[in-house]
């Protein structure tokens, strides 16, 4: 293992690698930002929707959670173009990750709403709050605190899953690294490098999550 | 004659196939303090929860200040009121729960303010001042910025009572407010309830504290199997029970 | 949308897909077995009195949880040979998945151990068992029952992760699905069947796990 040689290779490929890094961040951020509100919708329907709606959304969520993300990405990539939806590999990948994110967030939201004791709703009703008042003033603030740690984990999962887009040809950090490897044959050093960068991204997300968690935690 | 604060006529309530209330009649005038006693499963908590429609009822009428709670008659049919109407009606009564049910993500004073701001549309600063006053009333003013997790059970229950009375209810409902408390914390909560009673607040209580029911109420109602078994002034019920069931119940309650 | 569904091509190769699914299951079972051993050791390490041991275990968990599994798979398969460690693709994948799941299972076992009442260990000691035998006979069996649901969820997501073995040409379900996709161009049918196979397999596993949980549950 030649560290100097590896650093040299990384330095001379810094722009493509940085480009890949930017794509990784973009893919993850967009998927999380689109998938989260969609997931909250899924969770709300699973909790409060009528029978038919609940059944449909249940199917949606179970199907997505039972399918490996990798298969989801491949399926979106190949199928969407066949049915006449022309998306780039990047868009198809983000679409797949958004669906993946929404099903996970949906489960988390539903789980959180379920664990809030019934007495909370009753107490809110007893001081005259309506369904929306109860939801926004009493249930949601409590649910959000419960959701936060798992949601942060989901975010790191999305970052990890974004590497799978390399297989359909999206030049994110992993594929950019692989392109350098194919020129330099420094696979050990460069895979290590890529792993380290992903680790640092997720480590930062985790730490930030902990920080926010502490900020909003309730004293007791 | 004035309109009764609470008038229940022929109230029926089922859980699935099981009828838990089999025709209840109960009238309360302003300032009345009524205690519901009876063994568990006799329907006393359900009765209380029908008054603010935490439980729907199938038949009969629950009226607070002459207004039927939860339903209206329309062309001879009973229709459930709109969500917003029911919310308004619920705010006419106040309720304190067995497990306090304080909102854990709000400080004591914000717990008290929530209903004032959201339901009564009181301006924030006014609501704050009022809430502070009510917390003072239950002896919790010094804890106003504490969160429920930082308070003892007794303190939480006092805040919960402040939250309910802050809405200025015409009728207070107390659902076994001391049965989740450690024995040494019971008296501080009962003292608050007694204080409110002596102030002329109309109250309907479900309680297992017989001595307390004896001291605070002007009418005691003994419930058995979804019906009112016996009712009357505490002296009569506790010292001269007519039915054997009540006598046996009192004996078991170590009164 | 102009698309004539024709499942014949997929049905013809259904037995191959099924064999791929089977291989995925085998990979997941072997990996979780090794992962459990790693996880148990590290969970006890996490609760060790020695700071350095706790720290080492924490680093392991943090690194492997926060690095994309695809990077780990590629690293093990392409980079480790440079150290003279030459593994076949299946062995290589099993190593990766075991190490990866070890990190997740450490957390599962650690929280399981922490949640046990301290009296359990003390009771074991007072009847004359050694620390080690107390662990083997009492602490670990009780803990295992408690963490069974979490263990099951981990197994299911591990099983879904076996889809990534396709990247290094391990012939499991996703590998064959891609192959059939390319050879027949029955894009929608292929991916629909493949994902349904995953979904159904996951729900069957989940159902079996739930039954096992109930059977092993400590009566109360």
Two tokens at C140? 């670990």
Range(s) of the domain holding residue A185: 3-214
Is the pLDDT at C176 greater than 90, yes or no? yes
Q: Domain with C184 in it: what CATH number?
A: 1.10.3720.10
In eight-state DSSP terms, residue B149 is G
Q: pLDDT tens digits for C87-113? A: 899 999 999 999 999 999 999 999 999
Q: Is the pLDDT of residue A1 over 60?
A: no
Count CB neighbours of A67 within 10 A: 26
User: What is the model's pLDDT at position C184?
Assistant: 84
* Domain total in chain C: 1
Q: Domain for residue A220, yes or no?
A: no
Comparing CB atoms, the residue among B54, B94, B115 nearest residue A122 is B54
Pick from C192, C100, C30: nearest CA to A157: C100
Res. C79: pLDDT tops 80: yes
C24 part of a folded domain: yes
Q: How far lies A91's CA from each of A24, B14, B189, in Å?
A: 13, 55, 61
| Count, residues in chain A | 220
Distance from CA of B141 to the nearest CA of A (A): 18
Q: B interface toward A at CB cutoff 8 Å?
A: 52, 54, 83-84, 87-88, 90-91, 93-95, 97, 99-105, 114-115, 118-120, 146-147, 149-150, 160, 163-164, 167
The shortest CB-CB distance from B114 to any of A131, A137, A220 is to: A137
Token reading at C184: 């027949």
Q: What is the pLDDT of residues B3-45, one digit of tens each?
A: 999 999 999 999 989 999 999 999 999 999 999 999 988 999 9
What phi and psi, each to the nearest 5 degrees, are found at residue B240?
-130, 60
Residue C134 belongs to a domain: yes
Mutation pick from A1, A6, A66 vs chain C, by most beta carbons of C within 10 Å, is A66
Q: What is the pLDDT of residues C9-54, one digit of tens each?
A: 778 888 999 999 999 999 999 999 999 999 999 999 999 999 999 9
DSSP labels for C131-190? HHHHIIIIIHHHHHHHHHHHHHHHHHHHHHHGGGGGGGT--SHHHHHHHHHHHH--HHHH
Mean pLDDT of A43-57: 94
- Is pLDDT of C64 > 90? yes
Looking at the domain assignment, is residue C3 inside a domain?
Answer: no
Is residue C33, in this structure, part of any structural domain at all? yes
Q: What is the mean pLDDT of residues A103-110?
A: 95
ipTM (interface predicted TM):
0.89
The domain tally of chain A equals: 1
Q: Is A99 inside a domain boundary?
A: yes
Domain containing A106 — which CATH number? 1.10.3720.10
Q: Is residue A72 part of a domain?
A: yes
Q: How far apart are CA B20 and CA B50, in angstroms?
A: 12
Tell whether the model's pLDDT for residue A40 goes beyond 90: yes
For the four alpha carbons of C75, C78, C84 and C85, in that order, the dihedral sign comes to: positive
DSSP annotation of B142 reads G
For residue A219, tell me if it sits in a domain: no
Residue C95 domain flag: yes
Structural domain contains residue A176: yes
Provide the shortest C-alpha distance from residue B218 to chain A (in Å).
25
User: In angstroms, what separates the C-alpha of C67 from chain A's closest C-alpha?
Assistant: 5
Mean pLDDT, rounded, for A50-63: 95
Determine the structural domain holding residue C30 and report its residue range: 8-216
Question: Neighbouring chains of B at 3+ CB pairs within 8 Å?
Answer: A
Alpha helix (H) ranges present in chain B?
Answer: 44-51, 83-90, 108-118, 124-137, 153-165, 183-198, 210-216, 234-239, 244-252
Residue A79: count of CB within 10 angstroms of its CB: 18
- pTM equals 0.84
| Residue C11 pLDDT | 83
Cross-chain residue pair A163–C75, CB shorter than 8 Å: no
Is C106 a domain residue?
Answer: yes
pLDDT band at B255 (very low <50, low <70, confident <90, very high): low
In a domain, C1, yes or no: no
Q: Tell whether A156 is covered by a domain.
A: yes
Least confident range from B44-48, B106-110, B114-118, C80-84: namely C80-84
Task: Answer yes or no: are the C-beta atoms of A206 and A156 closer than 8 Å.
Answer: yes
- What is the DSSP code string of B80-133? EPPHHHHHHHHTTEEEE-TT----TTS-HHHHHHHHHHHTS---HHHHHHHHHH
Picking from B225, B195, B232, B189, the residue whose alpha carbon sits closest to that of residue B207 is B189
Show Cβ contacts of residue A147 under 8 Å, excluding neighbours closer than 6 positions.
Answer: A108, A109, A112
In a domain, A18, yes or no: yes
Enumerate residues 87 to 146 of chain A having a beta carbon within 8 A of any beta carbon in chain C: none
User: A142 near B106, Cβ under 8 Å?
Assistant: no
Q: Mean pLDDT across the stretch C59-70? A: 95
* pLDDT (average), residues B207-213: 92
Rounded Cα distance between A118 and B196, Å, is: 27
Residue window 59-88, chain A: list those with CB within 8 Å of chain C: 62-63, 65-72, 74-75, 78-79, 82-84
Min Cα–Cα distance to chain C from A65, Å: 8
Nearest residue on chain A to B149, alpha-carbon basis: A220
Least CB–CB distance from C178: residue in A74, A82, A191: A74
pLDDT confidence of residue C101: 97
Q: Do A120 and B101 touch (CB under 8 A)?
A: yes
Question: Which residues of chain A are at the B interface, by a Cβ-Cβ cutoff of 8 Å?
Answer: 117, 119-120, 122-131, 133, 137-138, 141-142, 145, 218-220
């Amino acid at each position: 293992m030649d560290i100097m040689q590896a650093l040299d290779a990384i330095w001379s490929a810094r722009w493509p690698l940085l480009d890949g890094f930017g794509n990784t961040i973009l893919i993850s951020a967009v998927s999380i930002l689109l998938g989260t509100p969609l997931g909250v919708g899924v969770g709300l329907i699973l909790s409060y929707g009528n029978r038919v709606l609940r059944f449909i959304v249940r199917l949606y969520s179970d199907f997505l959670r039972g399918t490996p993300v990798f298969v989801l990405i491949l399926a979106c990539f190949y199928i969407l173009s066949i049915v006449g939806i022309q998306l780039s590999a990047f868009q198809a990948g983000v679409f797949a990750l958004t669906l993946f994110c929404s099903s996970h967030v949906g489960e988390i939201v539903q789980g959180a709403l379920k664990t809030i004791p019934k007495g909370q709703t009753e107490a809110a009703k007893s001081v005259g709050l309506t369904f929306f008042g109860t939801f926004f003033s009493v249930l949601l603030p409590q649910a959000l605190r419960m959701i936060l740690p798992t949601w942060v984990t989901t975010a790191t999962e999305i970052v990890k899953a974004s590497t799978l887009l390399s297989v359909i040809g999206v030049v994110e950090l992993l594929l950019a690294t692989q392109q350098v490897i194919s020129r330099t044959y420094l696979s050990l050093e460069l895979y290590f490098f890529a792993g380290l960068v992903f680790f640092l991204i997720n480590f930062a997300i985790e730490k930030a999550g902990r920080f926010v968690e502490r900020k909003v935690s309730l004293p007791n | 004659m004035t309109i009764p604060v609470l008038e229940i006529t022929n109230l029926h309530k089922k859980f699935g196939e099981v009828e838990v209330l089999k025709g209840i009649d109960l009238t309360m005038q302003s300032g009345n303090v009524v205690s519901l006693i009876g063994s568990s499963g006799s329907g006393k908590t359900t009765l209380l929860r029908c008054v603010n429609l935490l439980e729907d009822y199938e038949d009969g009428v629950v009226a607070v200040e002459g207004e039927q709670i939860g339903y209206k008659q329309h062309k001879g049919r009973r229709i459930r009121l709109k969500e917003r109407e029911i919310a308004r009606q619920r705010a006419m009564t106040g309720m304190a729960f067995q497990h306090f049910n304080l909102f854990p993500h709000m400080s004591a004073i914000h717990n008290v303010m929530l209903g004032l701001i959201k339901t009564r549309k009181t301006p924030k600063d006014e609501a704050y001042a009022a809430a502070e006053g009510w917390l003072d009333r239950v002896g919790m003013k010094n804890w106003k910025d504490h969160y429920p997790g930082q308070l003892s059970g007794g303190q939480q229950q006092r805040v919960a009572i402040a939250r309910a009375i802050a809405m200025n209810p015409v009728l207070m409902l107390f659902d076994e407010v001391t049965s989740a408390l450690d024995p040494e914390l019971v008296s501080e909560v009962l003292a608050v309830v007694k204080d409110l009673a002596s102030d002329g607040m109309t109250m309907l209580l479900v309680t297992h504290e017989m001595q307390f029911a004896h001291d605070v109420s002007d009418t005691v109602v003994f419930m058995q199997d979804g019906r009112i078994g016996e009712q009357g002034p505490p002296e009569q019920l506790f010292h001269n029970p007519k039915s054997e069931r009540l006598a046996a119940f009192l004996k078991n309650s170590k009164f | 949308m102009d698309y004539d569904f024709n499942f014949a091509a997929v049905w013809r190769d259904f037995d191959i897909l099924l064999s791929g699914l089977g291989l995925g299951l085998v990979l997941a079972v072997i990996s979780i077995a090794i992962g459990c051993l790693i996880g148990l050791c590290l969970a006890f390490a996490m609760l060790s009195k020695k700071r350095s041991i706790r720290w080492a275990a924490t680093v392991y968990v943090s690194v492997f949880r926060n690095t994309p599994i695809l990077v780990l798979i590629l690293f093990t398969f392409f980079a480790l040979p440079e150290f003279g460690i030459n593994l076949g693709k299946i062995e290589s994948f099993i190593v990766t998945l075991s190490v990866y799941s070890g990190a997740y299972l450490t957390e599962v076992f650690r929280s399981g151990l922490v949640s046990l009442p301290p009296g359990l260990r003390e009771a074991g000691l007072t009847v004359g068992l050694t620390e080690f035998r107390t662990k083997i006979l009492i602490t670990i069996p009780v803990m295992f029952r408690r963490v069974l649901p979490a263990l099951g969820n981990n197994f299911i997501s591990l099983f879904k992760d076996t889809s990534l073995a396709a990247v290094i040409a391990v012939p499991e379900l996703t590998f064959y699905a891609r192959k059939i996709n390319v050879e027949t161009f029955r894009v929608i049918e292929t991916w629909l069947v493949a994902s349904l196979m995953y979904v159904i397999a996951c729900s069957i596993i989940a159902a079996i796990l739930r039954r096992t949980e109930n059977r092993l549950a400590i009566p109360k």
